Amino acid sequence: MSALLSLPTPIADVPADPDAERVWLADVFAADALGAQYQLVRELGRGGMGVVVLARDLALHRVVAIKLMRRELALLEDERTRFQREARLMARLTHPSIVPVHAFGEVTLGAERVPYFVMRHVDGESLAERLRREGTLKGSEVRRILGELALALDYAHHEGVVHRDLKPENVLLERSSTGAGGRVILTDFGVAALPSYDAQPMPGFSMGTPQYMSPEQLVGEHAIDRRSDLYALGVLGFTLLTGRPPFGGRTLRELSARHLLQRVPALARLAPDAPTSLVAVIERCLAKDPAARFDSGRELHDALERGAGFDWKRWTSALRAAVI
């Protein structure tokens, strides 16, 4: 288990000086590479690899999201290559539930070279924001969100891409003018893997968010595939229904051991109002053995659809009432 301790501390955990960051962003957008076409509006968020801002495209009269590499990482050639690789991965994926990339470039600030890429702006909020506001979501909404994400993942997997970092922060909910649930959009492919390129990860080293990582991803000893993303989708579903991931821990070692060895807490008990069919789908996603999970995002989606048409909990309740 000692290998599990080699996960790096995310740079996102290191607080940045807000005033210095604002000045830096203003300097970046004053440079010709960006300033000639884009006008900075405001910061949208930041993660381990970059900061995302809202900007106006002055040439095409539209609002876009621009992800800039964090300045401390832009000094590292390996990280710059990884950032460009994320942009290329996203650019090759064309799906309604995956954020499209419009352009890639670099800004030169003295000795600094800051890579960036331009994406479609999703007018809405992250799933993490909604979860913080509401605590838990209804079963019907969880089923819809998981179903749309399952199809997005299925498409990415067929393109040879494993996301590896599915979590509420990387899921966007588009605002709907009709009041119905807006489109669910998957973003942030910063640690995504191409199995043909990343076939053998370094033993004992994993990338992702531990609370949402599959047992095989946490161990980092085997090449992971699409079923690792489906495990993360199960963790996401569990979290949306209960307000917390299935496993926690005071240390990475403790958290990893629980993912690897402990049984998943009884979801039906923690979310008694959730449809039985939905609970069954999520629990199958959370199987320790990848072979026991769904084989594909499409298969998972279809299981969710079948369950939506027939609620076992309602049927058994009605039957019990009729017998009594």
Annotated binding site for ATP, which residues? Answer: 67
DSSP 151-170: HHHHHHHHTT-B----SGGG
**8 Å CB contact between 206 and 215:** no
C-alpha to C-alpha distance for 229 and 246, rounded to whole angstroms: 16
C-alpha to C-alpha distance for 52 and 29, rounded to whole angstroms: 13
**8 Å CB contact between 145 and 153:** no
Apex 134 CA angle, 97 and 270, nearest 5: 95
The residue type at 281: V
**8 Å CB contact between 301 and 281:** no
Burial of 318 (0-12, 13-18, 19+ CB in 10 A): exposed
> What's the token pair of residue 99?
């954020």
**8 Å CB contact between 100 and 141:** no
Which residue is catalytic, options 165, 188, 225, 273? 165
**8 Å CB contact between 107 and 117:** no
Parallel, antiparallel, or unpaired: how do β-strands 62-69 and 50-57 relate?
antiparallel
What is the arrangement of strands in the sheet containing 112-120, beginning at the earlier edge strand?
A: 38-46, 50-57, 62-69, 112-120, 101-109
C-alpha to C-alpha distance for 98 and 111, rounded to whole angstroms: 34
27 is catalytic: no
**8 Å CB contact between 164 and 212:** no
Apex 314 CA angle, 312 and 318, nearest 5: 115
Closest CA relative to residue 66, chosen from 88, 96, 43: 43
Residues forming the active site: 165
